[in-house]
Amino acid sequence: MKREPLFNIPPVVVAVLAVLALIHIVRTLALSEDQDIEFLLTVAFIPSRYDTSVLGGVLPGGFGAELWTFVTYSLIHGDWTHLGVNAVWLLPFGSAVARRFGALRFLMFFAVTAAAGAAMHLVTHAGEQFPMIGASAAISGTMAAAMRFAFQRGGPLSFWRDGGNAAYRVPAIPLTGVLSDPRVLAFLAVWFGINILFGLGSLPIPGAEANQVVAWQAHIGGFLAGLILFSWFDPAPDFQQFDDLGATRH
């Protein structure tokens, strides 16, 4: 059975990781402390930005920042440990989704799931002044998307796996069938369990300071968006496939 090279990473995933690393290098080496604070206030996601009664609209960026921070926060990380942990998760799941979607669809999917995570964070942390940063919500979206095809027969996480790109083009499991697949259910249970434990403080955050918390609601927002919106980004297959309404399409 043909196997792919272990480090066969799609160029778009390498590019995303390079951008994340470059941004952190510039923040660490090129910006002063005041400049870095100004940068964070401009591009991080801050719920109080949308509540003028809290800060009175004093945050930089104006109306534009109210839009772009739904995505730009995902490009910033607190430290190298934060970036490294996210990179470890992005490599397998992001690579699987990028191979299936292609570069442009993958970048759009990354942005949409990041925005969904920010929206969930805004709903659950209305008026909060602490900035949210990190790519975890978008990476959670790629995990959810991978679930829709990775466990299918011949898929990248299937025991009976084909080599090459064929493993990433297997028919996707319909949304209505997600909760009937025991492997997907096990993945869901572990994923949600870990996020809730981190959110409740029952599990320590690797490399984090005592006052740092995990924006687990944003993770869930990105994950649900990735799970539900998968078919919007999935390229039209060249084989018969079930869609999310249970009908077949070609």
What is the pLDDT at residue 242?
A: 43
- If one counts every other C-beta atom within 10 angstroms of the C-beta of residue 176, the result is 12
- If pLDDT is split at 50, 70 and 90, which confidence band does 1 have? very low
198, part of any domain: yes
228, part of any domain: yes
Cα three-residue angle 6-93-96, rounded to 5 degrees? 65
4, part of any domain: no
Helix/strand number for the chain, H first, E second: 9, 2
Q: To which residue do tokens 């809290």 refer? A: 54
Compare 208 and 147 and report the one with higher pLDDT: 147
129, part of any domain: yes
Does residue 243 carry a pLDDT above 50? no
CB of 140 within 8 A of CB of 223?
yes
Is the pTM here over 0.75, yes or no? yes
3, part of any domain: no
Domain range for 160? 11-249
Compare 180 and 14 and report the one with higher pLDDT: 14
3-state secondary structure 40-107: HHHHCECHHHHCHHHHCCCCCCHHHHHHHHHHHHHHCCCCHHHHHHHHHHHHHHHHHHHHHHCHHHHH
109, part of any domain: yes
1, part of any domain: no
Compare 161 and 179 and report the one with higher pLDDT: 179
**Structural domains counted in the chain:** 1
CATH number at 96 reads 1.20.1540.10
